Amino acid sequence: MAEIAALPIEAEAGRERYRALARRKLMILAAMTAALCLSFAVDLAWGPARYSLGEVIAALIDPSSVSAQIRAVVWDIRMPVAVMAIVVGAALSVAGAQMQTILANPLASPFTLGISAAASFGAALAIVTSVSILPVAATLLVPANAFIMALIATLFIHFVSQMRGVSVQTVVLLGIALVFTFNALLAFLQYLASEQALSAVVFWTMGSLTKATWPKIGITLAVLLIALPLFARHAWALTAIRLGEDKAASFGVNVRRIRLETMLIISLLAAVPVSFVGTIGFVGLVGPHIARMILGEDQRFFLPGSILSGALLLSLTSIVSKSIIPGVVFPIGIITALVGVPFFFSLILSNRSRSW
């Protein structure tokens, strides 16, 4: 051991290789950012009225240089949807990433653990019965109910996962049980619903970005902007938790406190977007796995990577949802499920160490 310690050449090797690795990860993040910008521009340009990328960029940079029609379509119709896709994708992906981190479970996401199903039930409760869980204005009834139910489901998962003797597998099974429970309750409400209410519930549960408005974007973005610095502050601690509870504690991490704080933030991150745009599945599952596979789990890279992968995924899905049948915008939840299910299968069947 002592003889090897005396070799000066190796002294630099690890340091330089680590620096190179970090640079490579930064370049990947830069490439993902560029891809997201491009996807955003294409999302704005894509639609029944076809505009060139140049016209869209001109409308963005100098709105007075384009016609009123282009300005209205880009800024008032397509912009809220395109921005909402990015914000919701980022929020759900980060929520999924941190859920997977603190529950030490690759299958954890707002969708698979029943949080989206809980939100759907809350929304249906508002649409079908007009029963309000919170005293809010009638216009906020649906998102408020969806939010509260999603919050209850998240906290339930958290507190059960903290109980002595509860394994990771138990938490996943519990999440599946929540999905079935809320789906059954939803079906019950749908059976009782009027034709008009039923169609509203079905549309809501499909998830759609066309519900996007600037105030909704503002609230979702605000939650995201509050959450990110809190996660960033605990970046080393969250990464350490992936090494196991005992190991993280041995590094001086207060695992219980970090888990509780993170779960509370996740509950907001998962519940707010779902309450505004409905059930959008698999982004919270697939986004973090893509980030993990290409960047690893050092949260300094994994966190921005999850934001970008989730945002990019939903932005691209937004384009796809407008491209299948010209003039028809498919509910985005259908597309994410179609893309997500094959990935979900590959995840279950994969033995690759880089994916978990």
Residues that bind other proteins (CB under 8 A): 1, 4-5, 7, 10-15, 17-19, 21-22, 164, 232, 235-237, 239-240, 242-244, 246-247, 249-253, 292-293, 296-298, 300, 353-356
- 286-301 burial, b for 16+ CB within 10 Å, e for fewer? bbbbbbbebbebbbeb
DSSP state letter for 167:
-
Q: Which is nearer to other proteins, 214 or 251 (CB)?
A: 251
Q: Which is nearer to other proteins, 92 or 240 (CB)?
A: 240
**d(C-alpha 324, C-alpha 318), whole Å:** 11
Q: Which residues contact 206 (CB under 8 A, 6 or more apart)?
A: 278, 279, 331, 333, 334
Q: Which is nearer to other proteins, 25 or 158 (CB)?
A: 25
Q: How many CA atoms lie within 13 A of 129 on its CB side?
A: 15
CB of 271 to other proteins, least distance (A): 27
Q: Which is nearer to other proteins, 71 or 300 (CB)?
A: 300
**d(C-alpha 80, C-alpha 71), whole Å:** 13
CA 198 to chain CA centroid, nearest Å: 27
CB of 5 to other proteins, least distance (A): 5
CB of 111 to other proteins, least distance (A): 22
**d(C-alpha 159, C-alpha 4), whole Å:** 49
Q: Which is nearer to other proteins, 29 or 88 (CB)?
A: 29
CB of 307 to other proteins, least distance (A): 16
Three-state secondary structure readout of 70-96: HHHHHHHHHHHHHHHHHHHHHHHHHHH
Q: Which is nearer to other proteins, 30 or 177 (CB)?
A: 30
H or E stretch at 291: helix 283-295
Q: Which is nearer to other proteins, 180 or 354 (CB)?
A: 354
CB of 9 to other proteins, least distance (A): 11
CB of 3 to other proteins, least distance (A): 10
CB of 170 to other proteins, least distance (A): 18
